[in-house]
Structure 1
Amino acid sequence: MPPPCSEDVVLSCLAQHFPLAHASLLLGRGDDAALLKAGRPLCVSSDLFLEDVHFRRSYFTPEEAGHKALAVNISDMAACGAQPFAFTLCLGLPPQTDMVWLDAFYSSMAELADKHGIALAGGDIAACERVHIAITIWGGISPSGVFLGRSGSVPGDCLFVIGTLGLARVGLRMLEAHGRSALRDWPCACAAHLRPTPQIDAGVMLARAGANARPPALMDISDGIARDLRRLLHADGAQYSQTAPQGPGAVIRLPERLLHSEVRRCAEDNKQDPVREALIGGEDYALLGSCAPDMLAALKTAVPGFTHIGEVTAEPGILCNDEPLEDLHGFDHFDF
């Protein structure tokens, strides 16, 4: 049994991985607040990452937990076309936390932060029964001055995704069923769930493309296209209603060949429709957006992983491969 944690031990471990000085900070950790360098509008986003809600220590290594906790926040910046530069970390830890686990957790998070030039500006620690992680992240909008929001889709716009669909859902299912032995047979799916890759470069490219045209509408896919596409289409204020849907709507095409082979294999093994599984898959952290038709060819060429999947329609409702999606709803934390 490892000795109980103390605040000084936890902070000392953190300091080995995150420097106090950083180009994004005027004043780093140590005072009651930090000072960020901000000469332009800022994007800010927050996420919780809770043990036995968002991850399980039974099959997440500490490195994977540290990576994913920060990656999901970076993905929010990608969805706005913003470049992240600082974050705060609030951490609840069980009193008997193994310091080897904590060191590995910090190390992986610091590696991802360093890759994207992000400073740790501060945070808080407390004792909890399980590991609780809360991160707030700041980003600067692109030099072009373009912020990519969810609103702005109009009938005739092209719908697109950047990244894989449904793969993280397969990883979650296999890890829940088989633990880490699932990595042997489902390596890509498990990696998609354990260590997602935020699409920062793609978000910045899309913001740059919007500088001289109507900017794309954009969001990241955290709860599955079946739920998130409705959020994109109704971001201007129209409320989605299953009984009385209002426009705009969408027609999307998602052939099985566009899905990862592990998504198709999992569906085949379980006698399920792979497209349906991809539509409800959460935690993909791919990007979903719409753009004017005259931007489509340029974006296909410029943005790696860009896939045109359909169009926005004036008529309400969503069709995928000519089938209505009214019975698909994606992930909901409160759907018990």
Structure 2
Amino acid sequence: MVPAPPSPSAFTFSEDGILACLAGHFPQTHPSLLLGRGDDCAVLKAGRPLCVSSDLFLEDIHFRRSYFSPEDMGHKALAVNVSDLAGCGARPLGFTLCLGLPDWVDMAWLDCFFGGMAALAGQQRMALAGGDLSRCERLHISVTVWGETAEPGGFLARGGSMPGDSLFVVGRLGLARVGLHVLEAQGRAALADWPAACAAHLRPEPQVDAGLMLARAGYNARPPALMDLSDGIIRDLPRLLGLSGELRAGADGQPPQQNQGQNPGQSQGLGAAILLPQGLLHPEVLRYAQEQGKNPVHEALLGGEDYALLGSCAPDMLPSLHAAIPGFCSIGTITAGGGITCNNEPLDRLSGFDHFEAGARGKKAD
């Protein structure tokens, strides 16, 4: 039985006190570490290739203290990074944590924050290898994660879709968007009437097992194309198809390396025909859209922070993936003609959230 962490009142609010509180939540040793926290660097035990991802989690940009509990913040700050590993079909191993702490933070708050983060880290068997602490005007959280390949299997990439491939998602679409809107309007009182939507926004659950199964499914076949769905289908599907510019060339001007068996040239000129009936959407998405006079399918397509998986695969893989992966849902077909439609409607007038558009704040664009 794991002993409970010491009471936060046992620690003074100082760098050493914060580190002692953190040590009560996160073990010092881990099978993936040769040397853990306490030295200038951690030393990783890397027997296979590693994939790495980093994310910022910033007050009043990605979350508000008015409706995020400390436990919610700790969970989500790690979860959004773990979702990137899931999008590569990777098994999480560890992470580093950098915190900029403003004057209002105290040991009780930190104890709850570390508790929310440690619960997810324990669930995913991840080591906290180190990080940094600093004072800051607003709460600033930066997490870097790493993971290893599935066995058997390899990392999955966004590129490699081909005309005729099936488009799929794993997870709910648009639910976190509804959660954001109702939390902004009502604060934590929204949890009573919108429990699933609020949970999707406050405590997303990364699709790690699904990512690993998709990676294994590609071991003896053409690997699926896959990515983390964090900015909504409207923004993320062009990235999957190589239409956003990110997959068009590497630093040397040549196409970037893809998974074995994938042809990066196939991404040129791709499009998609999405089929998304309302019956696939969560009842809270449908109810919110009806109350607000909005199109529920558009809400699902625009919805950011779903932390679902978006991918494509050869059609003959669908039966086994449907049977093996909870929440797996085929939603259309990759096309050769360019352009993206949903339920036969062109989507060129819909645009998702961009952090750097004028006036943007948080993931709240309509």
Do the two structures share a fold, i.e. TM-score over 0.5?
yes
Write the distance in 2 (CA, Å) between the matches of 1:134 and 1:11. 16
Residue pair 1:225, 1:281 contacting (<8 A) in 2 also? yes
- Structure 1 SS opposite 2:218: helix
Tell me, yes or no, if the aligned pair for 1:82 and 1:203 is still in contact at 8 Å.
yes
Which residue in 2 is equivalent to 1:57?
A: 65
Q: Specify the alignment match of 1:41 in structure 2.
A: 49
Displacement, 1:96? 3.3
Q: What TM-score does the superposition give when structure 2 sets the normalisation length?
A: 0.88
Which runs of 5 or more residues in structure 2 are unaligned? 1-8, 250-267, 360-366
CA distance in 2, matches of 1:304, 1:261: 18
Shift of 1:5: 3.7
The root-mean-square deviation of aligned C-alpha atoms, in Å, is 1.4
Matches within 5 A, 1:267-278: 267-278=289-300
Q: Which deviations, in whole Å up to 9, do the C-alpha atoms of 1:81-137 show, x marking residues without a partner?
A: 100111000001013312111100001111110111100000000001111000000
- Identity over aligned pairs, percent: 67
Which residue of structure 2 aligns with residue 293 of structure 1?
315
Is this contact kept in 2: 1:5–1:97, CA < 8 A?
Answer: no
| 1:193-238 Cα shifts (integer Å, max 9, x gaps) | 0000000000000000000000000001111001100110116418
Q: Is the 8 A contact 1:90 1:133 kept in 2?
A: yes
Q: Does 1:204 align with 2:226?
A: no
CA distance in 2, matches of 1:221, 1:25: 30
Q: Does the CA-based 8 Å contact 2:270-2:337 persist in structure 1? A: yes
Measured in 2, the distance between the counterparts of 1:96 and 1:256 equals 44
Q: CA contact under 8 A between 2:166 and 2:315: conserved in structure 1?
A: yes
The structure 2 residue matched to 1:168, chosen from 165, 169, 176, is 176
The equivalent residue for 2:342 is 320
- The residue number in structure 2 matching 1:237 is 248
1:135 maps to: 143
Q: Secondary structure at the match of 1:185?
A: coil
* Distance in 2, Cα, partners of 1:66 & 1:218: 26
User: Any unmatched runs of 5+ in structure 1?
Assistant: 239-245
- Cα distance in structure 2, aligned partners of 1:72 and 1:45: 10
Alignment-derived partner of residue 107 in structure 2: 99
SS of alignment partner, residue 212 of structure 1? coil
Structure 1 residue 4: Cα displacement? 8.9
Aligned length: 328
Q: Summarize deviations over 1:28-74 as a string: whole Å, max 9, x none.
A: 00111000110110010000000111011110000110000000111
Counterpart of 1:23 in structure 2 is: 31
Among candidates 58, 73, 91, match of residue 81 of structure 2? 73
Please name the residue that 1:8 is paired with. Answer: 16
246, 254, 266: which is aligned to 2:276?
254
Q: Say which SS state the counterpart of residue 222 (structure 2) adopts.
A: coil
Provide the residue aligned with 1:241 in structure 2: none
Between the aligned partners of 1:297 and 1:81, the Cα distance in structure 2 is: 19
Kindly indicate whether residue 108 of structure 2 is the aligned counterpart of residue 108 of structure 1: no
Partners of 2:40 and 2:353 lie apart in 1 by 37
1:156, distance to aligned residue in structure 2 (A):
0.6
Q: Report the equivalent of 1:224.
A: 232
Contact 2:153–2:218 (CA<8 Å) still a contact in 1? no
Supply the AA of the counterpart residue of 2:248: G
4-13 or 209-218, which moves further after superposition? 4-13
Aligned-partner residue type, residue 302 of structure 1: A
Q: Return the alpha-carbon distance in structure 2 between the equivalents of residues 284 and 161 of structure 1.
A: 11
Structure 1: how far apart are the matches of 2:200 and 2:247?
Answer: 31
Contact 1:152 1:236 in 2 (8 A): no
Paired with 2:285 and 2:176, the residues of 1 have a C-alpha distance of: 9
